[in-house]
Structure formats: structure tokens, C-alpha cells
Amino acid sequence: MGMRNRNGGGGGGGGGGTSGACYVYPDSPATPGIVTPDVTFDRGIYMNGSMTMDDGNSVRIWGFTDGSGGGGMGGNSFPSPAIRVTAGQIVHSRLNVQGMMWVHTMHHHGIEPADHADGVGHITWDVDGVYTYQWRPMHPGSYFYHCHTNTVLHAEMGMYGALIVDPPEGPGTLLSGGPTYDVEAFWVVDEIDSSWHNLRWDAGTCGADAGLNTLNPDYFIITGVDGSGTSAMNREPISATVQVGQKLLGRYICAGYHPQKINFGGLTGKVYISDGRPLPNPIEVTELRACSAERYDIIFEPTEPGEYIISTDIIHWITGEVLGTAKTNVIVTA
């Protein structure tokens, strides 16, 4: 790509806070092959968010805003506002990075567009201004979008949101000609190392030791809520209430870096899709292990009323030690 050698190695150009960054490639060119989209999502950037944990501590969070205002207009939701589209639609994700202080990208993880719509800084550019990613999702399932600039830090800081591709039938159907569901739950499980959360956006990029090789999480969250206690219980759409006879779709996204093991608390589910691709033969599961950024779409048809605890262990990538657990619940009524 033409941008390869633009700013690598030196200061990041741009202005303000980018002057100390290395190996970022600021640009916001016209979108190749741009056409009128079926749907557009505007996203800005916030870097002044926070999340309050069950212990009362507050942790800095970065993310995407809904709308092009940037700077936190419209609220700093965490996770970032979901993108929900229908297979076959031409989609524009319009990212507005107007801070003049930093660069970011949107990578639609699991979506496989042209490289100029893939949001990978070193291959194309890190957005400085407004850039429109054009893509056409073809495979229903659960995905997520996240920043791909200094990714190790930016994704950990919370720069991600759910990305759901529905089949043409719309929500309620998982796959055309495949299973349907009545209730949907979002299990986006992540770990936070609060010692990383006071770093600058460009931390480590010029080679300083920012400790980014070691993630020692102290908080374990599910869909933006502290999952260590009861905060994520009875809190839809993290939790879910279903009647016997109804079908629950669990959209499980491993949004952390350490591996995870999710246990369904006595429920048996059937995995129909993983990473946005239907399994040739769906598998029955009572628990699953997952690695970073894997997704599983699981349908449950509970037969026994009761409360079921959905708990996800976050497991150290080297030692295998369970570092913490994030929990929510499913209530099954008669």
C-alpha cells in the first residue's frame, strides 16, 4: 500500500500528542470504490471514560462513541455501541478521530473486507480525521469491532463493541434455514489490568518498556460490568430470563487476551456458529474453552426452571492458573 513508509519510525506527524509516537501511519484518504451504503455507523473516540468496579475503584476506559461528535458526546458507553447489520448489506463505518492528539482505527474482527477497510495501521493507515470503512458482511454470527492501533493497549483499554450480523430474516433467526431464538444474551468476557490504564495512547511504541508483555489482571468483567460478584446478575442483556419452551441464544465473545473457560452452570447448549461460520455439525456443550477473540453462538432450550450461573474463568496464558471469574445468570421460569 502507498502509505507504508509514510510516518513509520519517526514522529507520528499530525500534531499535539502524536509527536512522541512511533510506527503509526496517520492518514484519512478517500475510500476506494466507495458506493452508497445500505447503512452507516458513525463512530467517534472517547479517552476519558471510566468504569467503577465493585470495590469502589474507578478505572480509566477508552472507547468509541455513537455519532461523529467525538469527545464523548452522546455518552461513553462501555462496551462501545454495538453494530448490528444484516448479511448482504453494504455497510459504512465512518470513524472520526478529531482529537489531533492521537490516532485510532476500527477493525471489524472476523469480518474480511478489502485491506483498506480492515483497519490495520501498519498495512494501511491509522485514522487521523475521518475515514469510511466499506464492507459487506456475508456470514451471520457474532463478531466484535476494536481499535487496531497499538492494539495491545487500546483493546485492553476497552476500545471494542459487539458486531452482530443477522441473516436476512433478522433478529430471532441465527442462520437462514437454521435455528431460531426467543431471547438473546451477550457474554463479552474480558480482564482488566488496572496498572495499564494510566498509560498514554502511544505507550511503548518507540520502544520504552511499558510492561505490555505482562498482563496481570485485577478485574474480571462481562459486557462492561464487574463480574466478580453479583453486579452482572439479573442485568439483561448480560443475564437472561427465559421460559421453559423458549430458546436462549448466548453470544459469547472472548474479549480478553488470556484464555477463558465458560461454564453454563448446568445448562447444556448447542454451538451452531463459531467465529461467524456455521459448524458442519453443531456440538453440544456444558462448557467451552476459548482463546482471545474467539466467538461462540450457543442456543439453549432449558427444560428445568431455576437459576443457572454462567461463569467464565480467566486463565493465565502461561501458568494455567485461574486468575479470576466473571459471572452472570440465566433465570428459567416454568
Partner 1 sequence: MKRRDFLKVGSASVASTVFGSVGLLSWAPRAYAQTITKTFYITEGYQTLITGEDVYFRGFSDANGMVNVPGESLIVQEGDTIEITVVNTLSTTHSFVIDGLVDSGPIASNQTKTITFEASKAGTYLYYDKMNAPYNRLVGLHGGFAVMPSGLSNQLYPGSPTFVQQYFWIFNDIDPVWHNAISNNQTPKTAYEPRYFTINGLGARPPGAPGSHDPNIDAMVDTRTALHGQIGDRTLVRILNPGLASQSVHTHGNHMEWLTENGNIRPDIWKKDCIYLDGDMGSLDVIYPFEVPPDSYPPATTGTYPMHLHTEMSQTAGGGFYMFGALTDIYFE
Query: Residue numbers of the site for partner 1 (CB under 8 A)?
Result: 1, 4-5, 7-10, 22-23, 25, 33, 35, 90, 108-118, 120, 122-123, 134-139, 150-153, 155-156, 203-215, 257-259, 274-277, 279-281, 289-294, 317-318
* Residue 317, binding choice from partner 1, Cu ion, none, Cβ under 5 to 8 Å by partner class: partner 1
| Residue of 47, 83, 106, 147 that binds Cu ion (CB under 5 A) | 147
Query: For partner 1, which is the closer residue by CB, 69 or 259?
Result: 259
109 binds Cu ion (CB under 5 A): yes
Q: Which stretch binds Cu ion (CB under 5 A): 108-116, 223-231, 256-264, 267-275?
A: 108-116
| Residue of 51, 189, 288, 293 that binds Cu ion (CB under 5 A) | 293
* Residue 104, binding choice from Cu ion, partner 1, none, Cβ under 5 to 8 Å by partner class: Cu ion
154 binds Cu ion (CB under 5 A): yes
- Name, in order, each residue with C-beta under 8 angstroms of 35's C-beta and a sequence gap of 6 or more: 90, 134
Give min distance, CB of 169 to Cu ion, in A: 27
Give min distance, CB of 197 to partner 1, in A: 15
Give min distance, CB of 110 to partner 1, in A: 5
How far apart (Å, rounded) are the C-alpha atoms in residues 161 and 85? 13
* Residue 235, binding choice from partner 1, Cu ion, none, Cβ under 5 to 8 Å by partner class: none
104 binds Cu ion (CB under 5 A): yes
312 binds Cu ion (CB under 5 A): no
Q: Which stretch binds Cu ion (CB under 5 A): 35-43, 155-163, 173-181, 239-247?
A: 155-163
Could you tell me how many residues of this chain bind Cu ion (CB under 5 A)? 7
* Residue 147, binding choice from partner 1, Cu ion, none, Cβ under 5 to 8 Å by partner class: Cu ion
* Residue 10, binding choice from partner 1, Cu ion, none, Cβ under 5 to 8 Å by partner class: partner 1
Give min distance, CB of 126 to partner 1, in A: 11
43 binds Cu ion (CB under 5 A): no
CA 210 to each of CA 62, 190, 200, 205: distance values in angstroms, whole numbers, following the listed order: 18, 21, 10, 9
- How many residues are there in the chain? 334
How far apart (Å, rounded) are the C-alpha atoms in residues 266 and 264? 6
* Residue 173, binding choice from Cu ion, partner 1, none, Cβ under 5 to 8 Å by partner class: none
How far apart (Å, rounded) are the C-alpha atoms in residues 127 and 18? 12
Site of interaction with Cu ion (CB under 5 A)? 104, 109, 147, 149, 154, 159, 293
